[in-house]
Amino acid sequence: MFIDEATIRVKAGDGGNGCLAFRREKFVPRGGPSGGDGGKGGDVIMESSERHNTLVHFRFNPEYKAQRGRHGEGSNKTGREGEDVLLKVPVGTIVYDADSGEKVHDFSHADDRLVIARGGRGGRGNAQFKTSTHQAPREHEDGKPGEERTLRLELKLLADVGIVGYPNVGKSTLISRISAARPKIADYPFTTLEPNLGVVAVGDAPHEMSFVVADIPGLIEGAHEGAGLGTQFLRHIERTRLLVHLVDVSDASGRPDPVMDFEVIMGELGSFGAGLENKPMIVAASKCDVANKTKLAKLKKYAKSHSLELFPISAVTGEGVEKLKYAIAEKVEAVRRTQPTEVSA
């Protein structure tokens, strides 16, 4: 199961109270105040980990509370600090404050650590209030409360290449052909209900290069407004370096115009509002083994007039797939050189 959103509530530990105490021992006539300070409350810490790839564990356990600090004790004993709570999130998780909507942090690389709720400070014991003119203070402080927040976690896939297109154009078949990923493949719309990741290796050592490809579930008209699988998957395309746009040129889809199919999906990418339509793109005419020649010719003409690279392929027979794979690798390598700071899986 791929869980890409979760809302959690975190509560840092309260600080321990300061102690009111006086030292009274035999043969110690001037014991004086001896109340110790309270211990600091535990923090709630979030850390990105490559061992996690979903947010499912937050769905079933949405509340996290750190330990409170121990109270101070007599004989100037400071209370023990509360234990921290460490929450592991997948790389690519963005944390938002659920109340204000403000972005708290973007966990874009592994082992990134952030204190998201700070524990309360321990209160001072009465020994801290002693002065030369106030030698028997009875003042002491309560511990401060720990921070409490409601957070919304959003996970975006970290992939170099995103395969987009209408449902049933052959995205899952293509990713199974070029990588070791084995997504569900069936002859009905929205077979893919969660993004699939696959690692593609191109070339031979020592010049072998690899990239991560994501099979984004099918988009339809109105996706940016939530139609079909909607915006829950459009967000995953934001971090990809390159888009591979699959267009069905067979008669199996029942849609008569491949150019219109292409433009509808591009319109949805543009309407999402994250610059998706401006990403580098390769167009692939899929199902060429059963292609309608008129449709294929129309798409070729359109691609040429718009300076788009077009690769006719059949993921079922393998026709054109190797050529497309090498073209993707070259494009990804070129984008990596021009965008060295972009996140890569």
How much is the average pLDDT of 171-196?
A: 62
What's the farthest any 2 CA atoms get from each other in the chain?
107
Question: Which three-class secondary structure state does DSSP give residue 235?
Answer: helix
pLDDT at 25: 81
- For residue range 42-101, list pLDDT tens digits in order: 999 999 988 877 787 888 889 999 999 999 999 999 999 999 999 999 888 999 999 999
Show the CA angle centred on residue 43, arms to residues 39 and 44, nearest 5°. Answer: 155
pLDDT at 60: 83
Q: Quick check: 93 and 107 in contact, CB under 8 A?
A: yes
High-pLDDT (> 70) share of the chain, %: 85
d(CA 273, CA 288): 32
User: CATH says 161-338 is which class?
Assistant: alpha beta
Question: Which three-class secondary structure state does DSSP give residue 20?
Answer: coil
**CATH number assigned to the domain covering 5-155:** 2.70.210.12
pLDDT at 268: 80
- For residue range 265-295, list pLDDT tens digits in order: 898 888 877 778 889 999 999 999 999 999 9
**In the predicted structure, residue 224 carries a pLDDT above the cut 60:** no
**In the predicted structure, residue 141 carries a pLDDT above the cut 90:** yes
Structure tokens at 277: 């339509």
pLDDT band for position 166 (cuts 50, 70, 90)? confident
- The closest of 164, 198, 157 to 179, measured between CA atoms, is 198
**In the predicted structure, residue 300 carries a pLDDT above the cut 50:** yes
pLDDT band for position 2 (cuts 50, 70, 90)? very low
- The closest of 37, 36, 123, 39 to 74, measured between CA atoms, is 36
Question: Which residues are CB-neighbours of 242 under 8 A, at least 6 positions away?
Answer: 160, 161, 162, 279, 280, 281, 282, 328, 331, 332, 335
Average pLDDT score, the chain: 85
d(CA 344, CA 50): 12
Buried b or exposed e, range 296-305, using 16+ CB within 10 angstroms: bebbbebbee
pLDDT at 272: 75
Question: Which residues are CB-neighbours of 312 under 8 A, at least 6 positions away?
Answer: 249, 284, 285, 288, 291, 296, 319, 320
The number of C-alpha atoms within 13 Å of 180 and in the hemisphere containing its C-beta is: 4
**In the predicted structure, residue 191 carries a pLDDT above the cut 50:** no
**In the predicted structure, residue 184 carries a pLDDT above the cut 50:** no
Residue 335 host element (H or E): helix 321-338
Which segment, 82-86, 177-181, 231-235, 266-270, is predicted with the most confidence on average? 82-86
d(CA 234, CA 266): 12
Place of tokens 């199961």: 1
How much is the average pLDDT of 99-121?
A: 94
Question: Which residues are CB-neighbours of 171 under 8 A, at least 6 positions away?
Answer: 163, 164, 165, 192, 215, 216, 218, 246
d(CA 211, CA 280): 15
Domain ranges of the chain: 5-155, 161-338
